[in-house]
Amino acid sequence: MTFNSVPYLCFVALAAALFWVLPARLRRTFVLLASLGFYATWGLLFVWLPLLVAAIVYVVGRRITADPGRQKQWARLGISGVLLLLIVFKYRVFLFSIIAGMGLRTDSHSFSFAASIALPMGISFYTFEAIGYLIDLRQGRVKLPSYLDLCLFFLFWPNILSGPLVRARELMPQLNFRKSFVPRFCFEGLDRIIWGLVQKNVIANMLGIWVDRGFDAGSGAIPSTLDGWCLAVAFGLQIYFDFAAYTNMAIGTARLIGVTLPENFRQPYHAATPPDFWNRWHMTLSRWIRDYLFFPINAKWAGAPLPLYLSLVGVMALVGLWHGAGWGFLVWGTLHGAYLVVYRVYESWKTARPSLSNSRIAAGCWRALTLVAVTVAWVPFRAPTLHNASSILSAMFFRFAGGSAYGSGFYGFTAALILFCMVEAGLLRKLGEMEDRAGVDGPSPFRIVVRPIAYAFGLLLFLLFDEHNAQFIYSQF
Protein backbone atom coordinates (compact mmCIF):
# COMPACT_ATOMS: atom_id res chain seq x y z
CA MET A 1 0.00 0.00 0.00
CA THR A 2 1.96 2.97 -1.29
CA PHE A 3 1.42 6.46 0.11
CA ASN A 4 0.32 7.73 -3.32
CA SER A 5 -2.66 5.41 -3.63
CA VAL A 6 -6.38 5.64 -2.98
CA PRO A 7 -6.31 2.67 -0.53
CA TYR A 8 -3.67 4.45 1.57
CA LEU A 9 -5.64 7.70 1.64
CA CYS A 10 -8.70 5.75 2.83
CA PHE A 11 -6.54 3.94 5.40
CA VAL A 12 -5.03 7.13 6.82
CA ALA A 13 -8.40 8.92 6.93
CA LEU A 14 -9.99 6.03 8.84
CA ALA A 15 -6.96 5.59 11.12
CA ALA A 16 -6.80 9.30 12.01
CA ALA A 17 -10.54 9.46 12.70
CA LEU A 18 -10.47 6.37 14.94
CA PHE A 19 -7.34 7.64 16.69
CA TRP A 20 -9.05 10.80 17.91
CA VAL A 21 -12.28 8.97 18.82
CA LEU A 22 -10.49 6.43 21.02
CA PRO A 23 -9.62 7.17 24.65
CA ALA A 24 -5.99 8.25 25.13
CA ARG A 25 -5.12 5.03 26.98
CA LEU A 26 -6.00 2.93 23.89
CA ARG A 27 -4.25 5.04 21.26
CA ARG A 28 -0.80 3.46 21.63
CA THR A 29 -2.18 -0.02 21.10
CA PHE A 30 -4.26 1.19 18.16
CA VAL A 31 -1.29 2.88 16.43
CA LEU A 32 0.89 -0.21 16.95
CA LEU A 33 -1.78 -2.47 15.41
CA ALA A 34 -2.35 0.00 12.56
CA SER A 35 1.40 0.11 11.93
CA LEU A 36 1.64 -3.67 11.87
CA GLY A 37 -1.30 -3.83 9.48
CA PHE A 38 0.21 -1.20 7.21
CA TYR A 39 3.59 -2.96 7.13
CA ALA A 40 1.86 -6.29 6.45
CA THR A 41 0.33 -4.86 3.27
CA TRP A 42 3.86 -4.97 1.81
CA GLY A 43 3.99 -8.70 2.53
CA LEU A 44 3.43 -10.85 5.58
CA LEU A 45 6.76 -12.61 5.06
CA PHE A 46 8.89 -9.92 6.76
CA VAL A 47 6.59 -8.56 9.47
CA TRP A 48 8.72 -10.43 12.00
CA LEU A 49 11.91 -8.59 11.01
CA PRO A 50 11.31 -5.19 12.71
CA LEU A 51 9.93 -7.13 15.68
CA LEU A 52 13.20 -9.08 15.80
CA VAL A 53 15.23 -5.86 15.61
CA ALA A 54 13.17 -4.49 18.51
CA ALA A 55 13.83 -7.72 20.46
CA ILE A 56 17.60 -7.46 19.86
CA VAL A 57 17.62 -3.83 21.00
CA TYR A 58 15.50 -4.62 24.05
CA VAL A 59 17.57 -7.59 25.21
CA VAL A 60 20.89 -5.85 24.62
CA GLY A 61 19.51 -2.67 26.15
CA ARG A 62 18.67 -4.51 29.36
CA ARG A 63 22.25 -5.79 29.53
CA ILE A 64 23.62 -2.29 28.92
CA THR A 65 21.61 -0.87 31.81
CA ALA A 66 22.28 -3.85 34.11
CA ASP A 67 26.03 -4.18 33.43
CA PRO A 68 27.64 -0.70 33.44
CA GLY A 69 31.16 -2.13 33.32
CA ARG A 70 30.56 -3.82 29.97
CA GLN A 71 28.27 -1.31 28.29
CA LYS A 72 30.56 -0.84 25.31
CA GLN A 73 30.83 -4.59 24.66
CA TRP A 74 27.07 -5.08 24.88
CA ALA A 75 26.40 -2.10 22.61
CA ARG A 76 28.86 -3.46 20.04
CA LEU A 77 27.16 -6.86 20.20
CA GLY A 78 23.74 -5.35 19.60
CA ILE A 79 24.95 -3.14 16.78
CA SER A 80 26.70 -6.12 15.16
CA GLY A 81 23.50 -8.16 15.32
CA VAL A 82 21.45 -5.40 13.68
CA LEU A 83 24.11 -4.83 11.01
CA LEU A 84 24.24 -8.56 10.30
CA LEU A 85 20.53 -8.54 9.50
CA LEU A 86 21.00 -5.53 7.22
CA ILE A 87 23.92 -7.16 5.40
CA VAL A 88 22.14 -10.49 4.95
CA PHE A 89 18.93 -9.01 3.59
CA LYS A 90 20.30 -6.08 1.59
CA TYR A 91 23.86 -6.86 0.47
CA ARG A 92 23.94 -10.63 -0.01
CA VAL A 93 23.64 -10.49 -3.83
CA PHE A 94 26.21 -7.69 -4.08
CA LEU A 95 28.66 -9.69 -1.95
CA PHE A 96 28.07 -12.82 -4.04
CA SER A 97 28.80 -10.84 -7.22
CA ILE A 98 32.05 -9.49 -5.73
CA ILE A 99 33.14 -13.01 -4.78
CA ALA A 100 32.33 -14.26 -8.27
CA GLY A 101 34.18 -11.32 -9.81
CA MET A 102 37.29 -12.23 -7.84
CA GLY A 103 37.33 -15.59 -9.59
CA LEU A 104 36.29 -17.53 -6.50
CA ARG A 105 33.86 -20.38 -6.96
CA THR A 106 30.29 -19.83 -5.85
CA ASP A 107 27.38 -22.22 -5.82
CA SER A 108 24.93 -21.12 -8.51
CA HIS A 109 22.00 -22.51 -6.54
CA SER A 110 22.98 -20.44 -3.49
CA PHE A 111 23.36 -17.32 -5.64
CA SER A 112 19.93 -17.85 -7.23
CA PHE A 113 18.35 -18.39 -3.82
CA ALA A 114 20.00 -15.24 -2.44
CA ALA A 115 18.79 -13.22 -5.43
CA SER A 116 15.24 -14.52 -5.05
CA ILE A 117 14.79 -13.10 -1.53
CA ALA A 118 13.01 -9.74 -1.63
CA LEU A 119 14.37 -6.66 0.13
CA PRO A 120 12.33 -6.08 3.31
CA MET A 121 10.68 -2.67 3.13
CA GLY A 122 12.23 -0.01 5.35
CA ILE A 123 15.09 -2.18 6.63
CA SER A 124 17.71 0.50 5.88
CA PHE A 125 15.79 2.97 8.04
CA TYR A 126 14.69 1.04 11.09
CA THR A 127 18.08 -0.69 11.44
CA PHE A 128 19.79 2.73 11.53
CA GLU A 129 17.26 3.90 14.10
CA ALA A 130 18.03 0.80 16.17
CA ILE A 131 21.78 1.46 16.01
CA GLY A 132 21.28 5.09 16.98
CA TYR A 133 19.08 4.01 19.89
CA LEU A 134 21.71 1.61 21.26
CA ILE A 135 24.39 4.30 21.06
CA ASP A 136 22.13 6.83 22.80
CA LEU A 137 21.26 4.29 25.49
CA ARG A 138 24.91 3.53 26.18
CA GLN A 139 25.70 7.24 26.39
CA GLY A 140 22.82 7.87 28.78
CA ARG A 141 20.74 10.04 26.46
CA VAL A 142 17.68 7.77 26.62
CA LYS A 143 16.20 5.24 28.98
CA LEU A 144 15.20 1.67 28.15
CA PRO A 145 11.44 1.45 27.49
CA SER A 146 9.29 -1.64 27.26
CA TYR A 147 9.54 -4.03 24.33
CA LEU A 148 6.15 -2.87 22.98
CA ASP A 149 7.33 0.75 23.12
CA LEU A 150 10.34 -0.20 21.01
CA CYS A 151 8.08 -2.02 18.55
CA LEU A 152 5.94 1.10 18.23
CA PHE A 153 9.07 3.24 17.73
CA PHE A 154 10.47 1.06 14.93
CA LEU A 155 7.12 0.24 13.29
CA PHE A 156 5.48 3.69 13.47
CA TRP A 157 3.83 3.58 10.06
CA PRO A 158 4.29 7.16 8.80
CA ASN A 159 8.10 6.83 8.67
CA ILE A 160 8.94 3.11 8.67
CA LEU A 161 9.37 2.73 4.90
CA SER A 162 11.63 5.64 3.95
CA GLY A 163 12.08 7.91 6.93
CA PRO A 164 12.60 10.57 8.04
CA LEU A 165 15.19 8.90 10.28
CA VAL A 166 14.17 9.74 13.82
CA ARG A 167 15.87 9.47 17.19
CA ALA A 168 14.22 7.90 20.17
CA ARG A 169 14.50 11.04 22.27
CA GLU A 170 12.56 13.11 19.71
CA LEU A 171 9.83 10.60 18.78
CA MET A 172 9.21 8.32 21.76
CA PRO A 173 7.98 11.10 24.12
CA GLN A 174 5.34 11.94 21.50
CA LEU A 175 4.13 8.34 21.33
CA ASN A 176 2.25 8.62 24.61
CA PHE A 177 -0.49 10.30 22.49
CA ARG A 178 -1.80 12.48 25.31
CA LYS A 179 -2.47 15.54 23.15
CA SER A 180 -5.99 16.84 22.66
CA PHE A 181 -7.27 17.33 19.14
CA VAL A 182 -6.89 20.77 17.57
CA PRO A 183 -7.93 21.67 13.98
CA ARG A 184 -4.37 22.77 13.20
CA PHE A 185 -3.30 19.10 13.12
CA CYS A 186 -5.68 18.49 10.19
CA PHE A 187 -4.66 21.60 8.25
CA GLU A 188 -0.93 20.96 8.66
CA GLY A 189 -1.30 17.27 7.89
CA LEU A 190 -3.47 17.70 4.80
CA ASP A 191 -1.23 20.48 3.46
CA ARG A 192 1.74 18.11 3.41
CA ILE A 193 -0.19 15.07 2.15
CA ILE A 194 -1.87 16.86 -0.77
CA TRP A 195 1.34 18.60 -1.83
CA GLY A 196 3.19 15.28 -1.56
CA LEU A 197 0.64 13.64 -3.87
CA VAL A 198 1.15 16.36 -6.46
CA GLN A 199 4.94 16.20 -6.15
CA LYS A 200 4.92 12.45 -6.69
CA ASN A 201 2.21 11.84 -9.28
CA VAL A 202 2.40 15.02 -11.33
CA ILE A 203 6.09 15.96 -11.16
CA ALA A 204 8.26 12.96 -10.23
CA ASN A 205 6.33 10.37 -12.23
CA MET A 206 6.18 12.58 -15.32
CA LEU A 207 9.93 13.14 -15.19
CA GLY A 208 10.42 9.42 -14.59
CA ILE A 209 9.03 8.54 -18.02
CA TRP A 210 11.76 10.53 -19.79
CA VAL A 211 14.48 9.66 -17.28
CA ASP A 212 13.83 5.91 -17.56
CA ARG A 213 13.97 6.11 -21.33
CA GLY A 214 17.26 8.03 -21.31
CA PHE A 215 19.02 5.89 -18.71
CA ASP A 216 17.89 2.58 -20.19
CA ALA A 217 21.12 0.61 -20.64
CA GLY A 218 19.48 -1.54 -23.32
CA SER A 219 18.57 1.35 -25.58
CA GLY A 220 22.02 1.34 -27.20
CA ALA A 221 21.80 5.07 -27.91
CA ILE A 222 24.57 7.41 -26.76
CA PRO A 223 22.95 10.74 -25.85
CA SER A 224 23.92 14.08 -27.26
CA THR A 225 25.67 16.58 -25.00
CA LEU A 226 22.42 18.49 -24.49
CA ASP A 227 20.47 15.33 -23.67
CA GLY A 228 23.19 14.07 -21.32
CA TRP A 229 23.02 17.24 -19.24
CA CYS A 230 19.23 17.41 -19.41
CA LEU A 231 18.90 13.77 -18.28
CA ALA A 232 21.22 14.36 -15.33
CA VAL A 233 19.30 17.50 -14.34
CA ALA A 234 15.94 15.77 -14.85
CA PHE A 235 16.88 12.86 -12.60
CA GLY A 236 18.16 15.27 -9.94
CA LEU A 237 14.76 16.94 -10.03
CA GLN A 238 12.89 13.63 -10.14
CA ILE A 239 14.59 12.16 -7.09
CA TYR A 240 14.17 15.42 -5.18
CA PHE A 241 10.46 15.72 -5.84
CA ASP A 242 9.95 11.97 -5.37
CA PHE A 243 11.70 11.78 -2.00
CA ALA A 244 10.36 15.15 -0.86
CA ALA A 245 6.87 13.87 -1.76
CA TYR A 246 7.28 10.81 0.45
CA THR A 247 8.71 12.92 3.27
CA ASN A 248 5.86 15.43 3.04
CA MET A 249 3.29 12.64 3.17
CA ALA A 250 5.06 10.97 6.09
CA ILE A 251 5.23 14.23 8.04
CA GLY A 252 1.63 15.03 7.11
CA THR A 253 0.36 11.59 8.16
CA ALA A 254 2.08 11.87 11.53
CA ARG A 255 0.74 15.39 11.97
CA LEU A 256 -2.84 14.15 11.55
CA ILE A 257 -2.43 12.27 14.84
CA GLY A 258 -0.52 15.06 16.57
CA VAL A 259 3.04 13.81 16.03
CA THR A 260 5.82 16.01 14.66
CA LEU A 261 8.50 14.33 12.53
CA PRO A 262 11.74 16.16 11.64
CA GLU A 263 12.14 17.92 8.32
CA ASN A 264 14.23 16.17 5.67
CA PHE A 265 14.71 18.80 2.95
CA ARG A 266 15.41 22.52 2.79
CA GLN A 267 15.75 23.58 -0.86
CA PRO A 268 18.86 21.42 -1.47
CA TYR A 269 19.57 22.87 -4.91
CA HIS A 270 20.07 26.28 -3.28
CA ALA A 271 23.18 24.90 -1.55
CA ALA A 272 26.14 27.28 -1.54
CA THR A 273 28.81 24.60 -0.93
CA PRO A 274 29.08 20.79 -0.86
CA PRO A 275 28.69 20.67 2.96
CA ASP A 276 25.67 22.96 2.66
CA PHE A 277 24.06 20.50 0.24
CA TRP A 278 24.18 17.83 2.93
CA ASN A 279 22.71 20.31 5.42
CA ARG A 280 19.73 20.55 3.07
CA TRP A 281 19.42 17.10 1.46
CA HIS A 282 18.14 14.10 3.45
CA MET A 283 18.91 16.07 6.60
CA THR A 284 18.00 13.30 9.03
CA LEU A 285 20.45 10.90 7.37
CA SER A 286 23.12 13.62 7.33
CA ARG A 287 22.86 14.25 11.06
CA TRP A 288 22.79 10.49 11.77
CA ILE A 289 26.02 10.01 9.80
CA ARG A 290 27.58 13.07 11.43
CA ASP A 291 26.74 12.17 15.04
CA TYR A 292 27.03 8.39 15.03
CA LEU A 293 29.77 7.79 12.45
CA PHE A 294 31.81 10.81 11.37
CA PHE A 295 32.34 12.50 14.76
CA PRO A 296 33.28 9.28 16.61
CA ILE A 297 35.75 8.32 13.88
CA ASN A 298 37.46 11.73 13.86
CA ALA A 299 37.44 12.29 17.63
CA LYS A 300 40.62 10.21 18.07
CA TRP A 301 42.53 12.11 15.35
CA ALA A 302 42.11 15.59 16.82
CA GLY A 303 41.41 17.16 13.44
CA ALA A 304 44.53 15.87 11.62
CA PRO A 305 44.02 16.65 7.91
CA LEU A 306 44.83 13.31 6.26
CA PRO A 307 42.67 11.12 8.55
CA LEU A 308 39.91 13.73 8.22
CA TYR A 309 40.00 13.60 4.42
CA LEU A 310 40.16 9.80 4.32
CA SER A 311 37.25 9.51 6.74
CA LEU A 312 35.17 11.94 4.67
CA VAL A 313 35.62 9.82 1.56
CA GLY A 314 35.14 6.54 3.44
CA VAL A 315 32.05 7.67 5.31
CA MET A 316 30.41 9.06 2.18
CA ALA A 317 31.22 5.85 0.30
CA LEU A 318 29.31 4.00 3.04
CA VAL A 319 26.46 6.49 2.62
CA GLY A 320 26.39 5.55 -1.04
CA LEU A 321 26.25 1.83 -0.21
CA TRP A 322 23.49 2.52 2.33
CA HIS A 323 21.39 3.78 -0.57
CA GLY A 324 21.87 0.61 -2.56
CA ALA A 325 24.02 -2.47 -3.05
CA GLY A 326 25.72 -1.52 -6.30
CA TRP A 327 28.85 0.06 -7.72
CA GLY A 328 26.97 3.11 -8.98
CA PHE A 329 25.89 3.99 -5.44
CA LEU A 330 29.45 3.51 -4.21
CA VAL A 331 30.76 5.86 -6.92
CA TRP A 332 28.07 8.42 -6.05
CA GLY A 333 29.01 8.39 -2.37
CA THR A 334 32.74 8.51 -3.12
CA LEU A 335 32.23 11.50 -5.39
CA HIS A 336 30.41 13.37 -2.64
CA GLY A 337 33.23 12.48 -0.24
CA ALA A 338 35.72 13.92 -2.74
CA TYR A 339 33.63 17.09 -3.04
CA LEU A 340 33.72 17.53 0.74
CA VAL A 341 37.50 17.00 0.80
CA VAL A 342 38.06 19.58 -1.95
CA TYR A 343 35.98 22.11 -0.04
CA ARG A 344 37.84 21.38 3.20
CA VAL A 345 41.15 21.95 1.42
CA TYR A 346 39.80 25.22 0.02
CA GLU A 347 38.65 26.28 3.50
CA SER A 348 42.15 25.67 4.88
CA TRP A 349 43.71 27.55 1.98
CA LYS A 350 41.22 30.42 2.40
CA THR A 351 42.21 31.12 6.03
CA ALA A 352 45.48 32.70 4.81
CA ARG A 353 43.56 34.85 2.31
CA PRO A 354 40.92 36.89 4.21
CA SER A 355 39.75 38.63 1.04
CA LEU A 356 38.17 35.38 -0.18
CA SER A 357 35.90 35.18 2.85
CA ASN A 358 33.79 38.11 1.64
CA SER A 359 34.24 37.57 -2.08
CA ARG A 360 30.93 37.37 -3.92
CA ILE A 361 32.72 35.99 -6.96
CA ALA A 362 34.16 33.09 -4.93
CA ALA A 363 30.78 32.44 -3.31
CA GLY A 364 29.07 32.46 -6.70
CA CYS A 365 31.65 30.11 -8.17
CA TRP A 366 31.20 27.65 -5.30
CA ARG A 367 27.42 27.78 -5.65
CA ALA A 368 27.68 26.98 -9.37
CA LEU A 369 30.34 24.29 -8.85
CA THR A 370 28.23 22.65 -6.13
CA LEU A 371 25.18 22.48 -8.38
CA VAL A 372 27.20 21.05 -11.28
CA ALA A 373 29.01 18.54 -9.05
CA VAL A 374 25.77 17.29 -7.47
CA THR A 375 24.20 16.95 -10.93
CA VAL A 376 27.18 14.98 -12.25
CA ALA A 377 27.08 12.61 -9.27
CA TRP A 378 23.43 11.74 -9.99
CA VAL A 379 24.48 9.99 -13.22
CA PRO A 380 26.18 6.91 -11.66
CA PHE A 381 23.50 6.90 -8.94
CA ARG A 382 20.73 6.43 -11.51
CA ALA A 383 22.50 4.58 -14.34
CA PRO A 384 21.84 0.82 -14.29
CA THR A 385 25.51 0.08 -15.06
CA LEU A 386 28.80 1.93 -14.79
CA HIS A 387 29.21 1.52 -18.56
CA ASN A 388 25.92 3.34 -19.09
CA ALA A 389 27.02 6.06 -16.65
CA SER A 390 30.36 6.52 -18.43
CA SER A 391 28.58 6.92 -21.78
CA ILE A 392 26.39 9.72 -20.43
CA LEU A 393 29.29 11.41 -18.61
CA SER A 394 31.48 11.26 -21.72
CA ALA A 395 28.69 12.91 -23.72
CA MET A 396 28.44 15.62 -21.05
CA PHE A 397 32.16 16.42 -20.86
CA PHE A 398 34.31 14.85 -23.58
CA ARG A 399 32.42 13.68 -26.65
CA PHE A 400 30.43 16.73 -27.68
CA ALA A 401 27.57 15.95 -30.04
CA GLY A 402 24.60 17.91 -31.25
CA GLY A 403 20.98 16.90 -31.63
CA SER A 404 18.14 16.07 -29.27
CA ALA A 405 16.15 12.89 -28.80
CA TYR A 406 13.16 14.29 -26.94
CA GLY A 407 10.24 16.52 -27.72
CA SER A 408 9.83 20.06 -26.47
CA GLY A 409 7.70 18.79 -23.59
CA PHE A 410 10.70 17.27 -21.83
CA TYR A 411 12.91 20.34 -22.13
CA GLY A 412 10.08 22.73 -21.27
CA PHE A 413 8.92 20.72 -18.26
CA THR A 414 12.49 20.42 -16.93
CA ALA A 415 13.08 24.16 -17.41
CA ALA A 416 9.81 24.96 -15.61
CA LEU A 417 10.83 22.83 -12.65
CA ILE A 418 14.23 24.52 -12.50
CA LEU A 419 12.41 27.85 -12.32
CA PHE A 420 10.09 26.50 -9.63
CA CYS A 421 13.07 25.38 -7.52
CA MET A 422 14.51 28.88 -7.84
CA VAL A 423 11.36 30.51 -6.40
CA GLU A 424 10.30 27.68 -4.04
CA ALA A 425 11.76 29.30 -0.92
CA GLY A 426 9.94 32.57 -1.63
CA LEU A 427 6.64 30.78 -2.22
CA LEU A 428 6.96 28.92 1.07
CA ARG A 429 7.62 32.21 2.85
CA LYS A 430 4.51 33.77 1.34
CA LEU A 431 2.37 30.78 2.35
CA GLY A 432 3.78 30.98 5.87
CA GLU A 433 2.85 34.66 6.05
CA MET A 434 -0.69 33.86 4.91
CA GLU A 435 -0.92 31.19 7.59
CA ASP A 436 0.35 33.59 10.26
CA ARG A 437 -2.21 36.20 9.27
CA ALA A 438 -4.95 33.56 9.51
CA GLY A 439 -4.17 33.00 13.21
CA VAL A 440 -3.51 29.78 15.08
CA ASP A 441 -6.74 27.79 14.86
CA GLY A 442 -9.58 30.18 14.14
CA PRO A 443 -11.60 30.49 10.91
CA SER A 444 -10.31 32.73 8.13
CA PRO A 445 -10.88 33.20 4.38
CA PHE A 446 -7.59 31.39 3.79
CA ARG A 447 -8.81 28.29 5.66
CA ILE A 448 -12.44 28.42 4.58
CA VAL A 449 -11.97 29.22 0.88
CA VAL A 450 -8.39 28.87 -0.36
CA ARG A 451 -7.48 25.64 1.38
CA PRO A 452 -10.51 23.55 0.26
CA ILE A 453 -10.01 24.72 -3.34
CA ALA A 454 -6.31 23.85 -3.19
CA TYR A 455 -7.10 20.44 -1.66
CA ALA A 456 -9.70 19.64 -4.32
CA PHE A 457 -7.39 20.73 -7.14
CA GLY A 458 -4.49 18.72 -5.70
CA LEU A 459 -6.62 15.57 -5.35
CA LEU A 460 -7.91 16.03 -8.90
CA LEU A 461 -4.35 16.20 -10.22
CA PHE A 462 -3.44 13.13 -8.16
CA LEU A 463 -6.30 11.13 -9.66
CA LEU A 464 -5.66 12.33 -13.22
CA PHE A 465 -1.97 11.35 -13.05
CA ASP A 466 -2.36 8.24 -10.87
CA GLU A 467 -0.30 5.31 -12.22
CA HIS A 468 -1.49 2.95 -9.44
CA ASN A 469 1.79 1.03 -9.09
CA ALA A 470 4.36 3.86 -9.16
CA GLN A 471 6.53 3.33 -6.09
CA PHE A 472 8.74 5.92 -4.45
CA ILE A 473 12.41 5.76 -5.43
CA TYR A 474 13.66 5.58 -1.84
CA SER A 475 11.40 2.62 -1.07
CA GLN A 476 13.92 0.59 -3.08
CA PHE A 477 16.67 1.44 -0.60
Query: One of 109, 323, 336, 468 is an active-site residue; which one?
Result: 323
Instruction: Tell me the pLDDT band of 101, cut-offs 50, 70 and 90.
Output: low
Instruction: Tell me the CA distances in angstroms from 33 to 36, 50, 171, one per residue in order.
Output: 5, 14, 18
Distance CA 83, CA 90 (A): 10
pLDDT band at 449 (very low <50, low <70, confident <90, very high): confident
Of 248-262, 334-348, 372-386, 398-412, the one with minimum mean pLDDT is 398-412
- 122 and 216 in a single domain? The answer is no
Burial of 444 (0-12, 13-18, 19+ CB in 10 A): middle
Least confident among 9-13, 43-47, 85-89, 124-128: 43-47
- On whether residue 161 sits in a domain, the answer given is yes
Is residue 1 one of the residues assigned to a domain?
Answer: no
Rg (C-alpha) for the chain, rounded Å, is 23
132: which residues sit within 8 A by CB, 6+ positions away? 165, 167, 168, 288, 292
Is the pLDDT at 215 greater than 90, yes or no?
no
**Which stretch, 16-25, 110-119, 383-392, has highest mean pLDDT?**
16-25
The model's pLDDT over 368-401, given as tens digits with 9 standing for 90+, comes to: 999 999 999 999 999 999 989 999 999 999 888 7
Q: Is 323 a catalytic residue?
A: yes
CA distance 321 to 317: 6
- What secondary structure does DSSP assign to 100-128, as a single string? HHTT----HHHHHHHHHSPPPTTHHHHHH
Phi, psi of 385, rounded to the nearest 5 degrees: -140, 160
Query: Are 168 and 202 in a shared domain?
Result: no
Least confident of 51-55, 130-134, 323-327, 332-336: 323-327
Lowest mean pLDDT among 58-62, 68-72, 102-106, 339-343: 102-106
Q: Is the pLDDT of residue 440 over 80?
A: no
* Cα three-residue angle 366-367-371, rounded to 5 degrees: 110
SS3 258: coil
Asked if residue 165 and residue 207 are part of one domain, the reply reads no
Same domain, 168 and 278: no
Statement to judge: residues 59 and 157 lie in one domain: yes
Domain enclosing residue 312, as ranges: 183-477
pLDDT of residue 398: 85
Peptide bond before 268: cis, by omega within 30 degrees of 0? no
Residue 451 has pLDDT above 70, yes or no: yes
What is the residue-averaged pLDDT of the chain?
89
Residue 362's pLDDT band, with cuts at 50, 70 and 90, is: confident
- Contact indicator for 177, 257 with CB cutoff of 8 Å: yes
* Sequence-ordered list of residues with C-beta below 8 angstroms from that of 263, at least 6 positions apart, any chain: 164, 247, 251, 283
Question: Which pLDDT value is given to residue 402?
Answer: 77
Q: Based on the structure, what is the number of domains in the chain? A: 2
